Structure 1
């Protein structure tokens, strides 16, 4: 087939169709990820080039970046490559990229001329950069001026990807959902040996529903013939013998075939190995040109023109002539201000052919030339390159200093993995270099702590813990400040992996090592950490004194971050013991203080609690405003996928869900309802279940299937997912399954003594009430007693959590929603006894309104009105029941809450509350003579109900039920209830 632009694309029709299909899905609003694999030279780049050409013809935004064989030394290289190239162009696309970069400083730092302030290092992390990338892609792919303009992002040669790029690829593959983005990555499958770091990444990603893989296979004989004919152009036709020989020797590899055919045209006999083939082409060059190619091979995949000129040792005219010769033979091709090898294998072959001494000398030349660029202000990546070349040249002092600088540069770029690698290499070289402290600007312990810090930021907490424990053994016992710092950090990391007891011991030890005088910011930080460990484990009541001392010390020493964090901790502590509305302002003050001090992560925590506290007090308008503001600056800062960034976004969703704005809630859920691969994604995805379960969306079952393998790994995920799975089971009419979900939640969750247990208990009581009703209908008194006993236990748990904190203190503040759920639990417990208590259900309705008769928790008000209408009907107050029923129906219809609406319709039909509705047409067949009420009675007869139970279900007297049964038997001409029931079952009634 002919590719756009006149080039020929052979034998790739199916692969290109799959790629363009992914692009179509992106254009339609569903992100797509495609991993293109194949042997080196098989044609992956040619295939992807056809896709990029097609994308540009469709007016897509196209970003193309390539990895380089620089190990782990230059983080995010393909992303930087793509952004730099796109921003250097002309037209609307380049303008859009430049505008997107201008608003995202964290991405501008990636560019070759980007500058990162050292002050930003403490707050810059991978989540910021990842969030910024996601925001940039979403912005470029947004629907503008009534037209779709999807984004095609191509990352080539992922087998050379650095660790940060692999993490970025994983992140985007998991998170991209409804963005108009098509992400295509290419990699060499023959390079992925068993221990290759990309191998497990590919295996994991290909399990995701949004990710597909395309393997580019070698040509068949006919395709090789067509390919060679295209290479020959208008020249002499390619003979069958040539095709057979080239195909056999190339094994269908397009690049091999092209090189072999080129060699055939000169009559040269070349060896079968690719390295020999490539080197034979290099050997045809002049000495000066060969020198340039060898220098370029040492420089790397992307070659700086000026560096090559200087390292080649030739005068400018000779280098210029040599470069023209190399380019004319298509060994190097121009790329921006420099060159790239036509194929990476060519560079590898040339590099491998260098003599050891020659290779070392060339690396030393590049290290010498790069040296002036390394200090601050040098081009991005120069320190990493210098470290690479110096190490290869055995210049250990230079490699050491450059590794430290490269680590700091990687930290500024939010690449903690690469920073760790650089710092770790520097630590390995510490003993081999003179004056390492002077070269690095720190002592060995400081560099070791830098290594630990980057390890922790990279998510390797256990590695950080291991190193900190080793540092405790090595630290000078007389240096109490250092000892406290190590223990403070160790306490933080231990808390991250839920080693709470040891975390608290370490935090306590850190505080004990630092006396109050003289005042130190390190003691403020240690007290802050210790206070957080006491928040939920304070056996001796130390929290108030510790927190107050810590705040005073933080203010005295200027430890802004510690002060803001302590204000949040103190606010949460006070909230559990005091019904104090002023605590909302404590969180606001902590947020503002953290923002003023540039401590964004602490500000996120404070902003979450500020919005959450308003939400807990029923101030839905205030909570909405607080959450919207916090989410906006969170996203602007690129922290939307940080821990508290996710929590804030989920809280904003819950606020809209509660207030009944389900259109907005569903829109927000669509932003983070990702397919699940890891626990954090499962936590986020679980929130979409709230509306999906309530609206009867089939997607809820699929989402639960995604999440289920991870339920047991995380307490919060266990609480949310199991609770909503229980509700789904109840709407399905399966109280047994619902009870299993509730029991697992209480058994496996850390919340079984906290306020969240109240909601779980209410759902469990609903399930036990349903089970008890069925047991009564079947005459199974033992099952009824079991349900009542289980219900009593659940209610006791709910009451205990509502009145007492986990550490035994009286709970002064429950929150408006907590009080409403407790009322729901009390009402459901009475249903266990077969009693529909009007007063209890009216209390539940009132509490869920949050004091606003037309507002509050709209869905739960409607669910409570359903039960209140049922209770009022049972007590003979049909007018009041009809009013509650109509208001519940109106809310369910507005929300699209299909399961609740079906339950309300059923109640309305049984209790004759829906008198305004048109009667359903009479069915054909044997039941045509029955009235609507008689059909309702027959259904209950088929379920095995006696007259008393039928009367209770339909809110009629037992005598009226008996009359209906007699009429049914006569009209159906059957002798008894058993035959009537059999007929109903057979006819599907």
Structure 2
């Protein structure tokens, strides 16, 4: 893979490409315009414009592309000449050029008209260009692209200004690209850009750097031959490249080749520095040691220049856009890799001296910068003490990843400095525990487990209380890593090491962790006693976080045995205790179960508030990708989705990545499927990324495959639906309440199979489907009624009861007994607030009523379901309802006042007219100022009302029956 290769597909530039294609659309409609595309070198301007030119060619436009070159002012009109010569094979363009001698001289084979240009030569040429573009535009739209305008000659800049001002009704779209990082204060293009952007016909598109997910997709796209990039590679490349595609590709290629920084890229970046004066280069070298942000006073003092010389040097550096003013007293490098290249070019002794200079001038806090400079200056005692302080500072700031890094550095220096305990203010074991704590908070429990195993091996057994603490921590993180058997054993070992009296914080914590682990098994009858003992011991020993953990376990235990509304108070108390004690792991666990328990009881308004508050806390404290941080985001989405607030659910899901690497990313991505499937969106790309995770994560497989089964059922693909549900049912314990929904989805598919088999005259297939439905219903009943230890389940959430009702109704449908009573029970069960599922259940209720001849009631339920489905934008359900309305002739019972020919509303006639023109849903939405989802619903209604199955048939019927006439 070459470092400069481009991804074959356009990644992460949908908004920018939409802006460019919008300008092209306006030009095609007769409104000329110009767009200036800017961005750093390597950010993808050419790739974006390339996508636009391909689109334009596909639409039949005339496409002219010219490029400036780094030749100073020696080649006037170079991009125009390049564009005309590149398109001169087009007969229409060649004829237009032949009619304009002023332009022929721009071509390599042109001779012009022999007339000296004179004083009016430029105006003459400008007029010829304007006439040429206008003539070509009369035949078909013209796209003129002038690339790399930062290298444009003066005449080209004048031409750009002229065309931007005078193009008006010509069908011409002008695109100019330039490097924003090259436009230093005195660059000649800079005032031109400022002038052009004041014109109403000129717009700007600035390409931002890639986000992490876009970098991941880009690296995967450019490396088609080797293994896909790992999460570590993606993170490293993204951080170092700051999202610049060119730099990312170069770094990725270098990493795969075993290099640290590509020599070619370093040379490219250093070429700018080599053009500076000696003093300016000296300041840049000093600034490179400072890091990304450079303090004016510090860099002056470290560089060794006097104030006047340093000021002059900085002015030169800023004018060349190597450093950018940032605040009143500071600068930043234009790009981090520029700083890195300069830094890498320093001689070893020079680098050490500069770091030492910064370290000598920096205050003790913030400590991270002092630690960095001291370590690079080989001042190990100062680096060690500063690293410890930096770790503590990072913890206070809610930055666990950084805290772990600082503590790790301090531990690596422990044996290299004199009297480390005095310098650190604590012993080595407590620094190790701080590193463990940071690992857990950053969502890396396995890293914490590894460190704790080593600490237990090295620990002095005579210190019993510390031994208990280490084992309690290990048991906790083993539980987070799904190693429940070992977690149980280690917890019991820790509890046995200390007596119950007197109560100690360490034993209280061990009891709380043991109770937490016991919840996984649910079969130990002593769990209640253990949880209560943990709470009592924690209170007696003054351990609020252990008390909070015990309260959460106590609440979960009580909730599983009886419908106890008092658990809400337990979870609230636990959350507040843990957050006040600074234990965010336990606090978020309590916050999740608080919101979840309210949600399970059907109080959606209170659940919304609880989930929103918890997610706000995670975001404010940098915990959004922690174990419970990700789970809370999923719950927040699910509450809004359930309550029918799909606008807010969509806003939340917009932050869920599609290209996933880590389990937490896959988890939140899977939840987005709820809304995407219900609204009929394309889920192919999301499933492509999720599918590889299913084999290693049962929960993600449960969510993702369960929803993929529902999607297949909507498509009529019962085989795929049953494959997904069978995979889930075969890998989960039979008494999990979550399996009720999976069984209900499988029953939907089996009922559809039975109905089709009967319609096709295949009683054997119908009987097979019905028998399988019986088995699936038993699975649902078992999951609803029994706990994993074989006891009767005392309480089941409202949603669980609703899905069980759905399963009962689907089983009856599979047996040919589509019961309105069972579907009424399903509607009632979901009526605690699950808007979409109420509408979906009414669909089946209307169907069953129609089958029994209860037409009036069927119409009433059908209308209610259709109204709600249309309001939500639930396109598959709308289509199913319209299909039912057509088959059962329920549509004829609907007599809205505003209908016209064919039973269409005025709005539907507008949509039909656009369908007849061949427009897709997105184009219809744009024309009528509605959303694409609303357009999709209207189209579904039209197909049903006209009793046709395709847009083509709808258009034909509209013309033959005169439905489009006023």
- TM-score tier after normalising by the smaller chain length: 0.5 to 0.7
Are 1:548 and 2:525 counterparts? no
- Structure 1 residues 525 and 149, CA, compared in 2 at 3 Å: closer, same or farther? farther
Q: How does 1:933-952 map to 2 (within 5 A)?
A: none
Q: Does 1:624 align with 2:624?
A: no
Match of 1:469 in 2: 453
Instruction: Give deviations 1:188-216, integer Å, cap 9, x for gaps.
Output: x9xxxx99998544778999xx9883479
Change (3 A) 1:258 1:351: closer
Select the residue among 696, 699, 704 that pairs with 2:682. 699
Relative contact order (C-alpha < 8 Å, sep 6+): which is higher? 1
Partner of 2:490: 506
- Asked if 1 retains the 8 angstrom alpha-carbon contact of 2:403 and 2:438, the reply is yes
Following superposition, the deviation at residue 250 of structure 1 comes to 11
Q: Distance in 1 between matches of 2:702 and 2:11?
A: 40
Give the aligned length.
Answer: 704
- 1:627-706 pair list within 5 angstroms: 627-637=611-621, 639-672=623-656, 674-695=658-679, 697-706=680-689
C-alpha deviation, 1:303, in angstroms: 5.8
Q: 1:774 aligns with which of 756, 760, 772?
A: 756
Partner of 1:880: 857
Whether the 8 Å contact between 1:33 and 1:212 is mirrored in structure 2 is no
1:760 equivalent in structure 2:
742
Secondary structure of 1:699 counterpart: coil
- Most deviating of 885-894 and 525-534: 885-894
Q: Report the CA distance shift for 1:604/1:428 in structure 2 as closer, same or farther (over 3 A).
A: closer
Q: Describe the SS at the equivalent of 2:467.
A: helix
Q: How does 1:717-728 map to 2 (within 5 A)?
A: 717-728=700-711
Change in 2 beyond 3 A, CA 1:826/1:382 = closer
CA deviation profile, 1:121-180 (whole Å, cap 9, x unmatched): xxxxxxxxxxxxxxxxxxxxxxxxxxx99998779xxxxxxxxxxxxx6379789xxxxx
Matches for 1:295-374 after TM superposition, within 5 Å: 319-320=306-307, 323=310, 337=329, 344=339, 347-348=342-343, 351-352=346-347, 356=349, 367-370=359-362, 373-374=363-364
2:592, 2:628 within 8 Å by CA — same for their partners in 1? yes
* Cα distance in 1 between the residues matched to 2:505 and 2:778: 46
Checking the alignment, whether the CA contact within 8 Å between 1:34 and 1:214 is kept in structure 2 is no
CA contact (8 A) 1:387 1:403 kept: no
Q: 1:790 aligns with which of 772, 783, 800?
A: 772
Contact 2:294 2:330 in 1 (8 A): yes
TM-score by length of 1: 0.62
Residues in 2 aligned to 1:341 and 1:741: alpha-carbon distance in whole angstroms: 52
How far did 1:471 drift?
1.2
Q: 1-side partners of 2:265 and 2:611: how far apart?
A: 60
SS in 2 for 1:886: helix
Query: How far apart in 2 are the matches of 1:292 and 1:761?
Result: 69
Distance 1:782 1:598, change over 3 A: same
Distance 1:906 1:692 in 2: 21
Distance 2:840 2:748 in 1: 12
Q: How much has 1:458 moved relative to structure 2?
A: 4.2
Aligned to 1:427: 411
Residue 843 of structure 2: which of 866, 869, 873 is its match?
866
Q: How far apart are 1:543 and its partner, in Å?
A: 0.9
**Residue 662 and residue 27 in structure 1: after superposition, are their counterparts in 2 closer, same or farther (change >3 A)?**
farther
CA distance in 2, matches of 1:613, 1:800: 22
CA distance in structure 2 between the aligned counterparts of 1:905 and 1:692, rounded to whole angstroms: 20
- The partner residue of 2:592 within 588, 600, 608 is 608
1:826 aligns with 2:813: no
Give the secondary-structure state (helix, strand or coil) at the position aligned to 1:836.
Answer: coil
How far apart, CA to CA, are the structure 2 residues paired with 1:668 and 1:483?
Answer: 44
Q: Give the aligned partner of residue 944 of structure 2.
A: none
User: How much has 1:621 moved relative to structure 2?
Assistant: 3.2
Cα 1:599–1:28 change in 2 (3 A) is farther
- Show the counterpart of 1:910: 887
**Contact map agreement 1:292 1:323 (CA 8 A) in 2:** yes
Write the deviation string for residues 672-699 of structure 1: whole angstroms up to 9, x where unpaired: 465544432232233232233223x233
**CA positional deviation for 1:618:** 2.2
* C-alpha distance 33-739 of structure 1, shift in aligned 2 (>3 A): farther
Return the offset for 1:655: 2.9
Q: Note the residue ranges of structure 1 that are not aligned, 5 or more in a row.
A: 1-16, 51-63, 67-147, 156-168, 176-183, 219-248, 263-277, 851-855, 923-989
Query: What displacement does 1:765 show?
Result: 1.0
SS in 1 for 2:502: coil
Structure 2 counterpart of 1:847: 829
- Give the Cα separation in 2 of the matches to 1:567 and 1:296: 53
Change (3 A) 1:470 1:257: closer
1:581 deviation in Å? 2.2
Native 8 Å contact 1:301 1:340 kept in 2: yes
Stretch moving more, 710-719 or 776-785: 776-785
User: Cα distance, 1:756 vs. partner?
Assistant: 1.1
Cα pair 1:472 1:483 within 8 Å, conserved: yes
1:298–1:351 contact (8 Å) kept in structure 2: no
Q: CA deviation at 1:565?
A: 2.3
In 1, Cα distance between equivalents of 2:632 and 2:380: 47
SS at match of 1:651: helix
What's 2:212 paired with? 170
Picking from 704, 710, 716, the partner of 1:733 is 716
Q: Distance in 1 between matches of 2:265 and 2:374?
A: 39
Q: Quote the residue 1:127 is aligned against.
A: none
Instruction: Tell me, yes or no, if the aligned pair for 2:633 and 2:668 is still in contact at 8 Å.
Output: no
Question: How many angstroms apart in 1 are the aligned matches of 2:300 and 2:851?
Answer: 94
Q: 1:746-792 CA deviation, whole Å, 9 max, x = no partner? A: 123x4652111111111111111222233344554553443233222
